Structure 1
Amino acid sequence: MNNIMKCLPWLLYLIVNVTAMSINGSALMRYDPCGLGVIYFDKIADRLWMGAMNFGLYSNLPDTLVEISFGKEVSIFSDKSITVFNDISNKNKFKLIPHDSSVKNYNFYAAILSNSDNTDTDFPLVTEFKLNNVSLCNEEIKNSMTIESLNVTENEDNNYQHVCGRRSLDHTELVSVRTEADAGDWPWHVAIFIRDLNTTEEEYYCGGNIISRTAILTAGHCMRKDGKTIETNRIKVVAGVSNRNDLNQIGRQTYFAEEAILHPSYSDRLAVADLAVIKVNRLQYTKYVQPICLWGPVYDKEKLFGVQATVVGFGQTETNEPSKVLRSTYTMIQNDTTCLNFSYNVYRELLNEFTFCAGYGPSSNINPRNGDSGGGLVLGVLQPDHRISWFLRGVLSKCGVSPGHRDCDPTYYVVYTDVGPYYGWVYHHSGLKFTVNIPN
């Protein structure tokens, strides 16, 4: 894929707007029973998973009793921080009692004992999870987690109401990152193409994020090309796919832009307000197409530092080739000082109240690269129903480039536009109305 971005005049060959996803190393598979925030399992070897419990998500949680039932035979073991009891009458049922209520994070291990022909999908299926005798995940709850349940419009409502930041159950519970994604894993991510009106040719240009049935949020520079604003009728949005070139992929939806709105403070030269809203005519919400929640209006940039987030994109791969398939990976949000110390000349003009940097630093081989501009940095946030909703916190804006090169360097940190400060402007142009974000 061609590098679609321009170097900033004062940082020639040092920083460019991001245009792909570089990923080296094995994939990471995570299992979130019922999409809960308090527990998840990470695969560490065939038939061996690490369980993690985060009680810090709850305030004033008393002494804790956890009960887990599995749909297959497993063995649970831990260090001395947790006592594990196996139910005598049901070998697939366990009680876990943490010893110290002041400790908020606990790890344990689940080894799958039952045979399976497919170790890639052989995960510790949870049939029930109880926290202090309250069932937070069971078969009844799972059966209720349908895409249809996210439509919470009542008969008397004048406006369509939909829960944001949620996915279908099969894409909520078991998802891999640092690898190619399946359609429905990140249903708010779209591919933005620029059409040549004189031919049938079109160019993949950027990523974007579904925030309502009529609005896509992307980077402001994605609406610019060769120093000019792109004509609206040249912009095409493809949603619901993991392969942007597969015209027959189930879930694919294609829309032509009806309006493209650059933030009024956007500038090609300045690292502020790098946002744009693309208006389309009525996306259809399915298991492959869902909206992401918007972060704001309250925001505190310092609370982001050290937080792990997820990014996805169709950009270049580690071989510098354009990727047709959506990829996802984790990233780490950094303190501004970390990025300034790495390269003051690169980041001094880019980091401010409205931006932040992320990445794993000089030793990293995992990072967005050319082609991922406009894609989102998303965070999972615990909701009143104990489940996670995904929120859009950053929009990919700039990446670092080694001197003498033109492509994004995975060892540089990446700069994101913070969505929080622009919450009001985005909502004004999205057609959204705020309400409580949980199903009835």
Structure 2
Amino acid sequence: MSRSLCFLFLASKILANPDLNGRIIGGTPAHVYKLPYQVSLQNEEGHMCGGSIIHKSYILTAAHCLIGEKKLSIRAGSDFHDKGGTVRQVCAVTIHNKYNDDKEDYDYDIAILKLCQDLPLGDKILPVALPTFNEIIKDGTPVLTSGWGYTEKNVLSPQLLQVALVTVNQTTCRNNYKGVGVITGRMFCAGCKNKLCDSCQGDSGGPLFANRKLMGVVSWGYGCAMKDFPGVYTKVAKFRKWIRKEIKI
């Protein structure tokens, strides 16, 4: 199976069995002037995860991306994770207090990054709108996720990619994941009906956009675009009050 255009949503660690790697397959090249909220989250070795601009000083991402990481930065306003745009250092990290990395269940998989210097807002760098608290996303809703995740083993996509998905019924997703992982009320699933598409390692923490809002954060999943195993996303609407509390603006 080709993994060319496969892009992100796995944890920053590799789990032995099962392989809970979020993958996106079936994507197409994307441009930040259409996705101006997208950022690349980087450590000293380069791109590691995605993130979304929610304020000129703050980035929303996945908690699992940040465990054990230091000297973080983000790149915004570029189609490429390794050049162009604007780079900002991260001064503070806030991981949700109920996230437990030892449990490896990805519940409460959400975090906020405080930048050391504000981003210069413009056509290619803009905050994304957030859902209201507990806002519902209906089954079958068209959604879009994006990132620079792996296109093949250990190879990141140099170009930002995107893929169109639809949300999956929560009960159906829970039943499909029995014995693999738990789909909690703070998660939802999205995938493709008639073709292979999904998010991949390196896309974790990135955006899932729907109804003109940031509805999800790329979190986890089983395998790569596997039938009956859609990608699993942190439900941003469940954390709207927490975000408001943690952002000091």
TM-score of the two chains, using structure 1 as the length reference: 0.51
2:221 aligns to what?
399
Deviations 1:172-220 (A, max 9, x none): xxxxxx410123120000001111xxxxxx2311000000011000000
Q: State the 1:17 CA deviation.
A: 5.0
1:282 is matched with which residue?
118
Matches within 5 A, 1:341-380: 341-347=175-181, 349=182, 351-360=183-192, 364-380=195-211
Residue ranges of structure 1 left out of the alignment (5+ in a row): 24-177, 196-201, 381-389, 402-407, 433-440
**For 1:427, what is the secondary structure of its paired residue?**
helix
- In the alignment, structure 1 residue 336 sits paired with structure 2 residue 162: no
**Which of 210, 221, 231 is equivalent to 2:64?**
221
Q: RMSD of the alignment, in Å?
A: 2.2
Q: Verify: 1:423 aligned to 2:240, yes or no.
A: yes
1:321-379 per-position Cα deviation (integer Å, ceiling 9, x unaligned): 320110111111101232234342124x2x11111111125x53211111110011111
Contact 2:38–2:53 (Cα < 8 Å) also in 1: yes
Match of 1:273 among 108, 114, 118: 108
Kindly indicate whether the alpha-carbon contact (under 8 Å) linking 2:32 and 2:38 is maintained by their aligned counterparts in 1.
no
Partner of 1:21: 24
Separation in 2, partners of 1:267, 1:295: 25
Structure with the greater relative contact order (CA < 8 A, sep ≥ 6): 1 or 2?
Answer: 2
Q: Give the aligned partner of residue 204 of structure 1.
A: 47
CA distance in 2, matches of 1:245, 1:410: 30
Identity of matched residues, % = 26
Aligned to 2:108, the other structure's residue is in SS state coil
1-structure distance, mates of 2:86, 2:120: 8
Equivalent residues in 2 for 1:174-193 (5 A)? 178-193=27-42
Separation in 1, partners of 2:124, 2:232: 28
Question: What is the CA–CA distance in structure 2 between the aligned matches of 1:431 and 1:334, rounded to whole Å?
Answer: 34
AA aligned opposite 2:95: L
Q: 1:21 to 1:365 in 2, by over 3 A?
A: same
Give the partner amino acid of 1:192.
L
TM-aligned CA deviation for residue 298 of structure 1: 3.5
Q: Partner of 1:240 in structure 2?
A: 77
Query: What is the CA deviation profile of residues 104-123 of structure 1, one whole-angstrom value per residue up to 9, with x for unaligned ones?
Result: xxxxxxxxxxxxxxxxxxxx
TM-superposed deviation, 1:318: 6.0
Distance 1:293 1:3 in 2: 25
2:143: which partner in 1? Answer: 309
What SS class does the counterpart of residue 258 from structure 1 fall into?
A: strand
Offset from partner CA, 1:76-118 (integer Å, 9 cap, x none): xxxxxxxxxxxxxxxxxxxxxxxxxxxxxxxxxxxxxxxxxxx
Once the two structures are TM-superposed, the CA of residue 311 in structure 1 deviates from its matched residue by: 0.5
User: 1:6: Cα distance to partner?
Assistant: 3.3
Q: For 1:368-417, what per-residue CA distance to the aligned partner results, in whole angstroms no more than 9, with x for missing partners?
A: 1111100111112xxxxxxxxx211111110212xxxxxx3454311111
Q: What SS does the corresponding residue of 1:366 show, helix, strand or coil?
A: coil
Separation of aligned partners in 1, 2:113 and 2:174: 33
Partner of 2:129: 293
Aligned length: 237
In structure 1, the partner of 2:5 is none
- Structure 1 residues 308 and 203: alpha-carbon distance in aligned structure 2, compared to 1, 3 A threshold: same
